[in-house]
Structure 1
Amino acid sequence: MRLINIKPSRPLAVFLMLLPFAAVVVAYAIGSEIRLAANPSDKLLPAPSTVWDTAVRLITEADRRSGRILFWHDTWASLQRLALGIGISAFIGLVFGLAIGLLPLMRSFLAQFVAVLSMIPPLALLPILFIVFGLGELSKVVLIVVGTLPFLIRDLSQRVIEVPQEMIVKAQTLGASSWVIALRVALPQLMPRLILAVRLSLGPAWLFLIAAEAIASDLGLGYRIFLVRRYLAMDVILTYVIWITLLAFLIDWALRWLSRRFFPWAEEGL
């Protein structure tokens, strides 16, 4: 039997899924043990127990000066910025994706412009955004929008173009206007793709958020990571990195569930 025809059973699939994670944990534990055996004061690879104790302390203990648990305040601040940036990008991307995909005039007018914008490295614009919008919340949100919006527009407009032409012709035959075609024909086809596009843009969005928080912020997950790096507090950094990864996974899982719940007719990969 060829390898391409071998499908794992459910238990084997779960085992194979967990195996890389277990391998990373074991490799880290071995590396930490070797370094700490050579130098007990080594800070580069703290023991897993040290990382766990630090995580418990960060999650449960309040800051002495402010009286707040900074871990949760950092999380809330970053999630607010992320949600606002992604939400604005999704809305604008949906509107322009529909317009470019459905209207040939808009396609000729904006398609190449958006394509050129998507080539600009968003992080290169960060100093400009700080100058124009200041060092507050607005510049961080704008960076996420600037970094994710061109991709969303291009992806969604292409999906609209791929809507079967027969559906649009039938709608016009029944007397539907361009507005009705956009809302009743193209939009339902576009929503599952919008969720998928948002899922794909979450990785870059986290990158832009952490970069902005690291440079100009006094609260947030990225700010805290870059604040403690000067003390080589790898246990704190690893705790925050693991937490960011878990948050990203949970958001992605929620979006995937949303797609399956409300758009079960969409293709299986969404």
Structure 2
Amino acid sequence: MGCNLLKGKRGIIFGALNDMSIAWKVAELAHEEGAIFTLSNTHIACRMGNVVELAKKTGSELIPADATNVEDLENVFKTSMEVLGGKIDFVLHSIGMSLNVRKKRVYNDLDYNFLSKTLDISAISFHKMIQTAYKLDAINEWGSIVALSYVAAQRTLYGYNDMADAKALLESIARSFGYIYGREKKVRINTISQSPTITTAGSGVKGINSLIDFSDRMSPLGNADALDCAKYCVTMFSDYTRKVTMQNLFNDGGFSSMGMSLRAMDQYNKSFDPEELAEDGSEI
């Protein structure tokens, strides 16, 4: 039972593919909290994915679009305003893909054509999305735009590859456009840096299961799951966060503030032979 946190609000949710998707959880929760919205994903995802099921479940119209194509994005915003009966109050960008990751190209041997596609799909699409909305004046004052990021934008994490560069660019776009949109239209733009989460895209990252286990052990509250992220997104869409903008907000159980946890130190010490450790547990 929702609390009507988004009652009367209209939105667009980009990136829901299946029930593993964070965007899928956001759509379910936004619907429960009283919002109406449209859903958008690639043409092939709309034809072959489970998102049609989500559209029926939430009473939403599904609008196919290539998020890197400005004409497609214009159609999404124009159609959404027609279908929903007015300007948009919130937008979720939950889009990311790396061909280098999929093709197992390591960071010191990137295919640069793949890199260009990674940046365009995972980050520049965010700029295109915001710019399209801005030029169409499609978002109400005090509207909220949120994109999903990851701590690899600030820290080096093995295996995350060129997606780390994409997330760093994504966060920069939120700050740069957040200033302009906030100053001129009172629209706020933020990114949420989520714990590693098993999604269709995330499952392609090398060592994802070990990464999830490591961050869960390091985080004092444990990993945030997809539903935790959806709750944070809904809060960011609501009127309770009107003065929050240009921020990268960590939803990761405290992982981003950790250096070394007790559990990690114990595990580290166990990796040595007893003879290699001093009496106090430190390495000789």
Give the shorter-chain TM-score range. under 0.3
Which of the two has greater strand per residue?
2
- Larger relative contact order (C-alpha < 8 A, sep ≥ 6)? 1
**Whose Rg is larger?**
1
Could you tell me the TM-score, scaled by structure 2's length?
A: 0.23
Could you tell me the TM-score, scaled by structure 1's length?
A: 0.24
Which of the two has greater helix per residue?
1
